[in-house]
Structures are given as C-alpha cells and as structure tokens.
Structure 1
Amino acid sequence: MQIAFARAFDKRASTLVLCFSGFATNPKFFAHLACDIPACNIAICYDYRDLAQVDSRLGLCNKSSLESTFLPPVLRDLQELIDRHRHCILVGFSLGVAVAARVIGAIDRAGAFRHSIAINGTPLGIDTRYGIHPRIYARTLEYFDVREFARAFFGSDDVAEITARAKAMKSPIMRGFNGDFSTLFGNVLECKQELQALQRFCQAWGECSASKSGESRAGVHFTHAIISSRDMIFSPMILESTFSHTHTQCHSIDAPHYVFGSFTSWGKLLGICVPKVDSSSGARFWEARQSYTENAPIQATMRQNLMRLLLSHAKGREFEKVFEFGAGVGDFSVLLQENLAYTHFVCNDINNHASILQARLKPKTRVAIFDMHDIKNQPLCLERFDLIASNACLQWLNAKEILESVVPMLASGGLLLLGSFGARTCYEVREILGIGLEYMELEDLCELLQELGLEIVESGSETLKLDCGSALGVFRHFRASGVNSLSGNALNKSKILAYQARFGGKITYEPVYLLAKQPKP
C-alpha cells in the first residue's frame, strides 16, 4: 500500500482528508479535484498488492491497540499523519472502504475521525450479503478484462463518451489516452495481483467476524455513505441494505461507480455529507494543547471541586458507563478514572486529541471525536450512561441544545455533573474590549434541567481572581490556555494600556458547579 498527497504537504494544516482509493484507482484519478478546504492535507492510499504483508502484522482477529513499533512503516506513517491533525475525515471508495475499515479500525487511536464516508463500497467488500458476491468476484478475477472493468467503472460502453466526459472535467487521467484502458488501470497481471490481494484480505477479515450485521463487523463506523444510482460494480440495493440498520446517513446521487468524475473539488464532494468540512470552533484549544494544563489553574480548581461534589453524593457507587464530553487533553478524564469505579468510559472532544488521551487514560477507554452539536447524529446518543460529566466546556456550546440532547442519554438514576462559568467571568475583558461569551446563569441552568425532568442534587458558584502580573500577562494566559476568544483586531496597545490602568494584571472567573439526577421510575 502506498500513500500520496494531492498537493505538497502543509505542516501547518489542521485538517486531514484520508482517502482509501478503490481497486486500480491510483492518485491520478483524483488529480482533477481542487482542494478548496481551508488548511487541509489530502492523502490518498492506493495499490493494495502488498496487503498480505500489512494484514499479517495487524492480526486479523485482534482489534486491540497496537504498538507503533510492531506496525509496518506505511501504517506507522498513517498513524503519525492522523495524530498531527486537528480534524480528520476518512473517505473510502469502492473496495477501499473495506481496506479503510480494517486498517483504520486497527491503528486509529479509538476515534480520531469526526466523519467517515463510504463511497460506493461496503466495510466487508466481498460478502454474500454485504458486498460483491464472492462467486461474482472470483469470476471477475479469473476472466478479468480491463475494458469490461472500465465500462463498469465509468458507467458507459462507449470509449468516445468516456473520453469526452474526462476531457469535459479536464481530468489528467485521459491525457494521451488512445483507447487502451491498461494505460489507466495497469496491465492485466498487475490488476489480477491487486484483485487477489483484496480477495484474500476481505475473505480473512470476513471469516474472523462473528456478528450478523455487515456494518457492525467492520472496524470503523461510517457516519455517511454516498451511493451512486448507476453503480455497476456495487449494487445500490446492497449498499443501502448494508447501511440501513446503522446510524449511517445515506446520500444517493445520480452518478456511475467512479463518482469523482462528477465533481470538480473535494469540498463539493464532501459537501454532500458535511456542509462545513472545517470549523474554527475549538481551534484555539488545539493550538494550546501542549500548554493548556499548566496555564489553566482555574479549570484545575474546578475539576477538583467537581470531584469532591460527586464523591460526596456518589458514596462509593459503581458506574457501569461513564461519558465525558469536552475532554480536551484529558485532565478531568484522568481525575474521574482515578477516583471512580466504572466498567466503560467514553470521552469526547471536537479536536483530535485521541493520541494524547489514549496515552494518558486507562486501557479500553473509548475516544469519540465529534462536535457535540452533532451528538444527535452519533450512534453514542442511543447509549445510556450512569454518569455524564463535563468541565469547562458547556460555555462554548449552545447549552440548551446540548443539554436537551444529553439528558435523554442518562440511565435511570444516572447523574449529570457539570462545571461551567457564570456571567461575571472575564467581565474585565467585556468592559475594556466590549466582547466576550454569553454565559448561562446557574439559576437558568438549574431551571432548564428541571424542565428536562432532572432533580437538582446540589449546585453552587464561587468567584476566583487570577493575577497574571500585568495586562499583557492576562492575554498571554488566554492564549496559553486556549480560552482566547478575541478577534484579530480586538486587541491593540491602547486597549492593553487601558486594561492595565483599570485592572492591572487581574482577571475574574465565576465557576459554577452542578450535580443533577435522572429520577428512577
């Protein structure tokens, strides 16, 4: 398996689109797509002739986390590539969906991808119910004809029509094309080698799966599926059946199997599933991930107070399932795991802190990377938890919307533990600069939770002053802790001097604490 980049690698890019191409589909099939996603690297995995070497190192039936030192170089490169990006989007095309499901399911640190998109393929690839039927695949392999494959791939029998379509989209794949499709897909021997490798890979992967559902047997849950109505390789009915019993959103489009020819850019293609591929939300915390813990003393005080509040009422209770949202780099997660008896622990963040969290937290912690505003579209929302906790995150979200989604996730008798901020927080910044967050008062939070059917066990607030030494120190503190919500033009020398004259180096925080309970019937 090889990895190529759609354009020169950008070390500063925060978003990664990782595409597993299909059989015989090398990077030139994507070269016409413009990269119109801000600060984005696009990596394409292709050429699966050596899959046997890759898969033998993964261990077919063992999906536990693997040490990087035991991985083949190409998988180590993938793992490092994933870890260095804030947002990761997985795209699998055709049989590349099956490769992505297995490979990423094994090496991903438990949930780095906010969106996973299957395009005209299934997680099992070759299967009697959830893919290309093994007999059909075997016959294709035995009698492989590159011209017949091209016909199904492009959805046309006419070479002239295929060439005209490619020229219309200015695709480099048809540059110099003279009717010989082996110049596009490779010669028959190369194609058969790749088909055989994919056949063995899919068969072995299917054999080690015991579940009845094709999707649940896969190593990756695909959040979206794009299904071409004119697909002549994967039956649209099979594709719809595969994803019908999961939390996968299906999007049907009028296109042949090679769907990329119908688009001019990655943004337009992914926009079918994800209207806004990247977002500035959470960016400041990603930039401050290395400096957050030592520069966020207020949040440290809050998590200690929340822990005491919980323990005073939990009284040695054992929690079957715990969910923490807005985990960041895991400071509160560590404290929860050290002090609670639990069986399952799930933590979420909008940023890909998966590698940091997996390194800090106990084994088998499940990390789920997604925007909490999208919680209703996540499989997680169907689960029930005995404890849902969050510290210093709710103020960045639409609190009403989030709590309306989160409260139904509490099991009977379950506890909701929240730490947030009140209206006096950073009032100095609002006075000098006229900007700041809109904080929900503690009384309003309690009222909302009661309207949602919860009992308030205990709530309270406090006022804390932090002395940063100078006005400049205050704004450096914001930057290092990731809480700086200032626009680029909001701060200048005169405003820093005004802050210094009015408040010196002090800043006010008003932490609020709340413990609520889902009543038993």
Structure 2
Amino acid sequence: MQTTWIKRSPSADKAQGIIVFAAGWAGSDELVRHMTLPEGYDFVCLYDYRTLPDTAEREKLETVLAAYKARYLTAWSFGVWVAEQLFEESPLTWQRAVAIGGTPQPIDDRYGIPTRAFAVTVRSIAGTGIVKFLERMCGTPEILREYYRHRSTRPLTEIYDELLALQRMAGETTLSRSPTAPLWTEAVVGERDAIFPPKNMKRYWSEAGVPLTPYAEMPHYPLYQTDLLTRLTADEAR
C-alpha cells in the first residue's frame, strides 16, 4: 500500500484534523488532488493494494493519525474493504467514517460485486484493457471526461496485479461473513452504480444497521463532485 500526503501541517496539533481517503482499485493520489477541503485540515490518500501494511506499518500509521484531535475517514469502492483491514480493530476513533460505493464484502453475490461478474471483469481487463471498465464506472461521457482530467497514471500491469491481489485477499477474508460494520458511521450508494450493484450495497448496510444515503444520479465514480469529501467528512467540524 502507498500512503501519499496531499496536505500536511508541520505538526498534527497545528491542524484542525485529518481526512483519510482510502481510494478504490487502480487509484492514486492523482484522483483527489482536485478535491476541495475544509480549511485547516490535513489530507492523506491510501492506494495501491497489491500488498497491505504489516503490523508494524499499521501501528506506525495509527500513531501518526492518533496525534490529530479529529479524524475523518472516507473510503471508496474496494477502499472500503481495505479500510476495514486497517482500522476495524484499531483503537483509533473517528468523528465520521463514510463508505462510498462499496462494502466490506466486495466480492459477494449478495453484498458486493457478484463473483461471476468480478471474474468476467478480470478476464476483460486482461484481454482488452481498462477502457470499457472506466466507461461503466463513470456512467456518462461528461463524468468520464472529468475522470480523465484527474486520472491515475499507474501502468496497466501494476493495476492488474493489484486487481488479482484484491481478488485473492478479499475472497479469503469475506467468506461466510454476516454483515457487521462497527467502523462505519454512514454509507453512500450511487443509484447508477454499474460496478457494485446498488441493491447489494443497500442490503449490506441495511443488515449491518448503518445509516445509508442514496444519491440518485451518482455512478460508481463519485469524485466528479469536487466538494464531496468536505460534505461527507468534515461538515460537523466546520
């Protein structure tokens, strides 16, 4: 996993708080550098999940985050699962922890991407690349153009390796698991999501007892809304 600071104060006590963004598969900090932030907040992006941090690396990250007086977590797509691996058993507390367009069971016929659909996606990307996936992810030509303005420039071979790693790791950790969500304070579902079926996400968060906000016009890719992180993570502290 890579950790990139987009905004960082000289010391944690100089900031109002920290916003942690766990990107989805194939993501990078390039996807969120255009996002507006509440004044005084530091911002760190987590991405590239070919491997996840070991215990020592997680504890180091926890120590850095614990120094902030307020912590806000936003995770998107597969980043929801990754954030659970990092923070579900962590002593850190979050003012808000928002899951967007994903669930802690990302490859699942009831609660995530159906297993057959995920396998088809893996084969398609191996054969023809990522263009068709991006079209489905963005939903409209206008949002696709906005995505390309801020797209990740990681090479296809690297993100394909990441996809296979997530398929293996997520499959191992979500078998026969009932919906629980002690980490999350709320979830957001785009009604036009063509990657994670909205009905599966709604089912997971409903059974887990997490408040859900549906966005009628939102596809899987949410970052065309430049103020989204501000609205979903730090409104209470502004």
TM-score (norm: length of structure 1): 0.42
- 1:250 alignment partner, one of 178, 197, 212: 212
CA distance in 1, matches of 2:64, 2:149: 27
Matched, 1:129 2:130: no
**For each residue in 1:17-55, what CA deviation from the matched residue of structure 2 results, as whole angstroms up to 9, or x when unmatched?**
1111000111111111122x243111110011123xx3x
Matched with 1:3 is 3
Matched with 1:15 is 17
- 1:24 alignment partner, one of 5, 23, 26: 26
Matched, 1:203 2:157: no
Query: For the pair shown, which has the larger CA radius of gyration, 1 or 2?
Result: 1
- Matched residue of 1:260: which SS? coil
Matched with 1:267 is 230
Identify if the C-alpha distance between structure 1 residues 10 and 126 changes in structure 2 by more than 3 Å, giving closer, same or farther.
farther
- 1:241 alignment partner, one of 185, 190, 203: 203
Structure 2: where are the runs of 5+ without partners? none
CA RMSD of aligned residues (A): 2.2
CA distance in 1, matches of 2:173, 2:35: 32
CA distance in 2, matches of 1:47, 1:121: 17
After the TM superposition, which residues 362-511 of structure 1 pair with which residues of structure 2 at under 5 Å, given as runs?
A: none
Structure 1: where are the runs of 5+ without partners? 58-70, 175-183, 280-521
**Count of aligned residue pairs for this structure pair:** 232
CA distance in 2, matches of 1:186, 1:266: 23
Identify if the C-alpha distance between structure 1 residues 161 and 199 changes in structure 2 by more than 3 Å, giving closer, same or farther.
closer
- 1:173 alignment partner, one of 150, 168, 173: 150
Letter in 1 for 2:160: K
CA distance in 1, matches of 2:56, 2:77: 24
CA distance in 2, matches of 1:9, 1:172: 27
CA distance in 2, matches of 1:6, 1:84: 18
Matched, 1:221 2:189: no
Sequence identity percentage: 24
**For each residue in 1:288-321, what CA deviation from the matched residue of structure 2 results, as whole angstroms up to 9, or x when unmatched?**
xxxxxxxxxxxxxxxxxxxxxxxxxxxxxxxxxx
8 A Cα contact 1:130 1:238, kept in partner: yes
CA distance in 1, matches of 2:65, 2:188: 23
CA distance in 2, matches of 1:112, 1:161: 34
- Matched residue of 1:244: which SS? helix
CA distance in 1, matches of 2:166, 2:62: 22
Matched, 1:148 2:116: no
**For each residue in 1:375-430, what CA deviation from the matched residue of structure 2 results, as whole angstroms up to 9, or x when unmatched?**
xxxxxxxxxxxxxxxxxxxxxxxxxxxxxxxxxxxxxxxxxxxxxxxxxxxxxxxx
CA distance in 1, matches of 2:149, 2:6: 13
Letter in 1 for 2:132: E
Matched with 2:75 is 92
Matched with 1:46 is 47
Matched with 1:118 is 99
CA distance in 1, matches of 2:111, 2:183: 15
- Matched residue of 1:5: which SS? strand
Identify if the C-alpha distance between structure 1 residues 82 and 262 changes in structure 2 by more than 3 Å, giving closer, same or farther.
same
Letter in 2 for 1:151: E
TM-score (norm: length of structure 2): 0.88
- Matched residue of 1:89: which SS? strand
1:247 deviates by 3.1
**For each residue in 1:72-124, what CA deviation from the matched residue of structure 2 results, as whole angstroms up to 9, or x when unmatched?**
43x23321122101111111100100010121113x21x51121100000011
Identify if the C-alpha distance between structure 1 residues 29 and 246 changes in structure 2 by more than 3 Å, giving closer, same or farther.
same
- Matched residue of 1:189: which SS? helix
Letter in 2 for 1:33: M
Matched, 1:193 2:174: no
By relative contact order (CA 8 Å, sep 6+), the higher-ranking structure is 2
CA distance in 2, matches of 1:24, 1:10: 30
CA distance in 1, matches of 2:21, 2:121: 25
- 1:101 alignment partner, one of 60, 72, 84: 84
